[in-house]
Amino acid sequence: MDQLSPGARPSRRRLLQGAAVTAAAAALGPLTAGRAAAASYPATHWIPASTSNYTVSNRPSSYPLNYVVIHVTQETFQDAMRIFQDPSRKVSAHYMVASGDGYIGQFVREKDIAWHAGNWDYNTRSIGIEHEGWVDQPSWFTDVMYQQSAKLTAAVCDRYGIPKTRTHILGHVEVPGTDHTDPGPYWDWTKYLRLVNNA
């Protein structure tokens, strides 16, 4: 794929319509019964990461899910996607949200352990959501990105009974032992938590 300039729409979007939407729905599996007020998952598109970049598991049976970890890619969507698909990189996230239109790619099934937090204990107990952009460029944090990400986080929290609070929805920087700074000082946590709780 050709490298895109920042803010350009990835060309693969048209290719992912139809069958990919169906595959993404299948990858999520059935939602937990008895949660009538649960938030709905926004449309996601299945873009599998390399199997060398995550651990197959059976969560939440194998590990409880207690956290959602918020990341910023420090890359364009296209470049981050290529990293997740490169078997030599040893990194992945469950989801990534595009800046320009809130498009959501799913790279790892929620039952599996994405290698995103830099801490094995947190990897086993969390869902990782990347956001296209750079921590020092707040223009990447668009309203549509916040809205789509908040819908996704709310649905994940509802599905697994994760409290929609700042002690359970973390920035990568807050994971013990990490050397990352994302999502950075320009990420609007007040806005984000409000959107999550209103989804």
Q: Which residues are catalytic?
A: 130
The conformation of residue 183, written as its DSSP 8-state character, comes to: T
Angstrom distances, CA of residue 132 to CA of 36, 40, 64, 105, 141: 32, 22, 27, 11, 8
Closest CA relative to residue 125, chosen from 168, 66, 175: 66
* 81 touches 87 (CB < 8 A): no
Q: Report the distance separating Cα 132 and Cα 97, nearest Å.
A: 6
What contacts 24+ positions apart, CB below 8 Å, involve 26-35? Answer: 27/106, 27/109, 28/106, 28/109, 28/110, 29/109, 29/110, 29/111, 31/159, 32/159, 32/160, 35/158, 35/159
* 67 touches 116 (CB < 8 A): no
Tokens of 26: 């299948």
* 191 touches 143 (CB < 8 A): no
